[in-house]
Chain A
């Protein structure tokens, strides 16, 4: 019991960082994903191929490899000293970006072609049709999978403890190592993840119902 209580301050510190990395990372990932998802559908072959290559590389490699590559590999190549937090945010952003791109593509493609045709028939350009007609409808549909991606990315941040980011898992691990008690700290780490993920799921479901999707 004493270890269960004792680990809490450390975990609160860790969860703040986990949250920060996830929120900033997923937000940037969402911007990347929106452009890449739309770019994938571009008529321009060059643009769509660049987007496909990006998506396939990210989806085809483990995120653990990606973080090590960014933190150690890229820093080494350019002889720069990326700090751990920046490297983590970049890794989550790039990783989530690829998955969000596929979500965005699916959302756009799920909108009936008749909507685009109706827009173009009025004389709206391709971009205007996308902006005023297709995107607002697609966005509603992609909110549930986006929320899902947020939860996945949140859990993915636990892998960043390999570069010693002081995230939730790392803080628990450090506590366990210093007290030689292993059951309670890891149990509490699990509980802390659930404290974020379960309410996230509930909020997501409420939003879904509000949007009537």
Chain B
């Protein structure tokens, strides 16, 4: 599904990603953990070119994102993304937030898009909020709308950038539950997270990114119960 080869990313002279190669298979849930500043969010943002790649290649379904000829809007519409700070459109209702992409990018009719949006809202338990504005929602509700907005594009893969980090502790559960459902339905997911229990429970594979490289990777049992490197042991010691 996603193949990353020797990915490098620099901001000016500061090299944040120092050569990452990895693969994400179809229906796989990959969780990325690491300290802040390790490059894990930057890595995720490279996967839909929110960050311009300095060197290396990213293939999604065989199409190379780094190829200047590639239609980036077309590719992005197939890669859903959920942000730490939700980034809902405050001037649009929940329904309009969700239908904007399908109507403008996929050229769906308004009726079709709205029907799909209502289904998605029902799925995330927010059918009563279709006509509300984002400012009237709680953080957990906002993030569930943001997930619906991404899903409305029927993406092949979903990227999550610390989706629960900005939430009050009691609201984390409702968002993780939606993500868990999604994983069970077979969605391919890449999740940057600080929720170790989620990574353990839902993740098929965990990547530990440190200083711009994948320092250690493996199934969650191995990463959490039997870490090999000192760095990972220190990191887990701090967060668990």
Contacts and interface: CB of A to CB of B under 8 A. Distances in A.
Interface in A120-159: 120-125, 128, 132-133, 136-137, 140
Interface in B82-109: 83, 85, 87-91, 100-101, 104-106
B101 A122 contact: yes
Interface in A83-139: 112, 114-115, 117-125, 128, 132-133, 136-137
Contact of B73 (A117, A125, A133, A136): A125
Nearest to A112: B87
Contacts of A121: 48, 50, 76, 79-81, 150
B141 interface: no
A137 B90 contact: yes
Contact of A122 (B50, B75, B85, B105): B105
B104 A118 contact: no
A132 B100 CA distance: 9
A126 B27 CA distance: 31
B77 A122 contact: yes
Contacts of A123: 73-78, 101, 105-106, 153
Contact of A117 (B83, B100, B150): B83
Contacts of A140: 91
Contacts of B40: none
B194 interface: no
Contacts, number: 60
Contact of B76 (A112, A120, A136): A120
B149 interface: yes
Contacts of B83: 114, 117-118
A133 B100 CA distance: 10
- Max count, chain B CB within 10 A of own CB: residue among A112, A123, A128, A133: A123
A136 B101 contact: no
A21 to B, nearest CB: 34
B90 A118 contact: no
Contacts of B76: 120-123
Interface string B50-74: 1000000000000000000000011
Contacts of B89: 115, 118-119, 133, 137
A24 B121 CA distance: 47
Nearest to A139: B91
A122 to B, nearest CB: 4
8 contacts: A114-B87, A115-B87, A117-B83, A121-B76, A122-B76, A122-B150, A123-B76, A136-B91
Given A117-B50, A124-B101, 9 more contacts: A114-B85, A115-B89, A118-B89, A120-B50, A122-B149, A123-B76, A123-B77, A133-B100, A137-B91
Which 8 A-B pairs give the minimum distances between C-beta atoms? A123-B77, A122-B101, A118-B87, A114-B87, A123-B105, A121-B81, A123-B76, A123-B73
